[in-house]
Amino acid sequence: SLPKFLDAAGSRLDYRRYADTLFDILVAGSMLAPGGTRIDDNDKTKMTNHCVFFADEDHDAIRNYAQVSKG
């Protein structure tokens, strides 16, 4: 699972340093500027559809995002 991968890679990647950016991407699908606007300039290469806004609207799907965010 993604949380286990991040924990295993954490010693090499120091992903905790980028926790805010990771959270932005998991929720909004892109990095956010102050005030909550996306800073991707509609560039599809800077966006992901794997985020809460595009997730299925069911408990299990949303719980997976919450588990990664808490990781």
CB proximity list for 65: less than 8 A, separation 6 or greater? 26, 27, 51, 52, 55
Contact between 30 and 38 (Cβ < 8 Å): yes
Mean pLDDT of 16-37: 82
Domain span at residue 40?
Answer: 2-67
What is the pLDDT confidence band of residue 70, given thresholds at 50, 70 and 90? low
First to last CA, the chain: 11
Contact between 23 and 66 (Cβ < 8 Å): no
* Total structural domains within the chain: 1
Give tens-digit pLDDT for 42-56. Answer: 888 888 888 888 888
